[in-house]
Amino acid sequence: MAQVLIANAEPLFAEALHGLVAELFTASDWPFNCTQVSTIDEAIAIAKGQDELEAILIDLAILGPAGLAHLVTLRSRQPAVPLIVLSSVCDPQTVHLCMTCGVAGFIAKSASRAEIARALRTVFDGGIHIPNFAGAARGFPQAGPQLGRRVAEDDPEGGPLSFRQAAVLDLVTDGKSNKQIAWELSISETTVKAHMTAILRKLGVSSRAQAIVLLQRNMAHEAAGRLTVPV
């Protein structure tokens, strides 16, 4: 049975998402179970121990002080599971950074119920969803068969972090040295350095410290966003 994780601190919005997911899976005669949590720590704990996740839907507002670093952690824990972000802040930079972190879909919370349903269907079918205003973002794949569920190891210039890069960046945000990262991932320090070079390029920064600051930038503007329940 497919498992879907919804991480959202707003009960009304979480229930509305649950209803949409149920409709989509029922229409496809696909049995599923939906787990709802309200904190990022709960979401990460489930991602670490769940082998049957089909999708993760996460509200950007619950990421807390660590910011987008949590998206990298989720991606490194479940590299083959589509990660879908819902956000009240949908500026191009936020969308771009989330896509770089490896999300398969970015959905505006202000979108209509029908728009959210179409976006979810695109990702559930293996595609990528980006808001229309950000659809021309260079380096990111558009909707297409099985893009969302594959574990990409190709490394397009400016595209999303690969699975291995996400794993490296996750350990970097934990304060691990290149030597420690190499040991934990069973790769050489030279390989770690190569991954870091690609990570810095994709994030548009020049140092590890800048990468961490970028991912952990204040998310208060997101938390202050108004709740919009899809109806």
**What six digits make up the tokens of 141?**
């794949």
Look at residue 205 in the predicted model and tell me its pLDDT.
86
Average pLDDT over residues 150-176: 74
Lowest mean pLDDT, pick from 68-77, 132-141, 162-171: 132-141
Please write the tens of the pLDDT for every residue from 60-77.
999 887 788 899 999 888
Give the C-alpha separation, 75 to 62, whole Å: 16
Is 228's pLDDT higher than 60?
Answer: no
CA-nearest of 159, 81, 157, 90 to 130 is 90
**Structural domains present in the chain:** 2-151+217-223 (3.40.50.2300), 163-215 (1.10.10.10)
Taking the model in full, what pTM does it have?
0.77
Confidence of residue 157 (pLDDT cuts 50, 70, 90): low
Mean pLDDT score across all residues of the chain: 81
Average pLDDT over residues 26-34: 84
3-state helix, strand, coil in the chain (%, to 5): 50, 15, 40
- 115 and 103 in contact (C-beta within 8 Å)? no
Look at residue 7 in the predicted model and tell me its pLDDT.
95
Look at residue 158 in the predicted model and tell me its pLDDT.
61
- 5 and 47 in contact (C-beta within 8 Å)? yes
Bridge partners of 35? 5
Of residues 99 and 135, more confidently modeled:
99
Instruction: Collect all residues with Cβ–Cβ distance below 8 Å to 84 and sequence separation of at least 6.
Output: 55, 56, 57, 58, 103, 104, 105, 106, 107, 119, 120, 123, 129
Look at residue 174 in the predicted model and tell me its pLDDT.
85
Average pLDDT over residues 151-163: 63
Please write the tens of the pLDDT for every residue from 73-98.
998 888 889 999 999 888 888 888 89
